[in-house]
Chains A and B, each alone.
Chain A
């Protein structure tokens, strides 16, 4: 069965610090997709990134970077030089072939960035 664990419930940093949000997943499938979503205080979930199981290349997009390691079943998200606007709840999610590709979310990590 698919499962996503985000062990960090809340993280608080000061602006300009780097922060890494951890995500560990469980799946027996060889074909699956991993996602990160952001939920700002306004409430609407916003897609950040999708990664398929056959592509372990790390990705960088501006201040955001993602580290996908199949050996440890992890898909961690790093924000470099954090800003107050990064304050939100971040969700890691998994979609697997056996599960019909329904997307399952972790419990989320609430990030507070203080000025």
Chain B
């Protein structure tokens, strides 16, 4: 498809379980972002990739959260030992901006994570 694709759209899990959320960005976009959005809040920055490397992971809340982008395209956000406070919509965005410029972000529809 032409847009940013995120799977699954909904994920319900139990406390303590491991979760993976996938993002397929727009083809050719080198920058990829993960955000977390809780109800009534703005998107909260988690991590930003430029190509395969994490350019900035300062927003990851703790070491239970990890993200990879091994081939510079698809990215996976991994959450270990999930907690109820991890419940949120996880948004992925991609951008074609590189080298000191910053362009608009194209967002996916998000993955809604519910931890019971």
Residues in chain A within 8 A of chain B (CB atoms):
6, 33, 35, 37, 43-47, 50, 91, 95, 97, 99-108
Residue of B nearest to A46 (CB): B107
**Surface stretch bound by A, among B17-25, B41-49, B61-69:** B41-49
A108 to B41, CA, bound (A): 7
Report which of B44, B59, B104, B108 forms a contact with A44, defined as CB distance below 8 A. B108
Could you tell me the distance in whole angstroms from the C-beta of B72 to the nearest C-beta in chain A?
17
Interface residue range, chain B: 20 to 34
| Interface bits B86-113 vs A (CB < 8 Å: 1, else 0) | 0001010100010011111111111000
B12 at the interface (CB under 8 A from A): no
Measured between beta carbons, the chain A residues less than 8 angstroms from B43 are: 45, 91, 105
B→A interface (CB under 8 Å) = 33, 35, 41-45, 48, 55-56, 59, 89, 91, 93, 97, 100-110
* Contacts A45-B91, A100-B56, A103-B33; A50 near B103 (Cβ below 8 A): yes
Most buried by A among B33, B42, B55, B106: B42
| B41 close to A107 (CB less than 8 A) | yes
Q: Could you tell me the distance in whole angstroms from the C-beta of B111 to the nearest C-beta in chain A? A: 11
CB-nearest residue of chain A to B50: A100
- Contact across chains for A100 and B55 when beta carbons are under 8 A apart: yes
B107 near A45: Cβ-Cβ < 8 Å: yes
Chain B residues, CB < 8 A from A46: 107
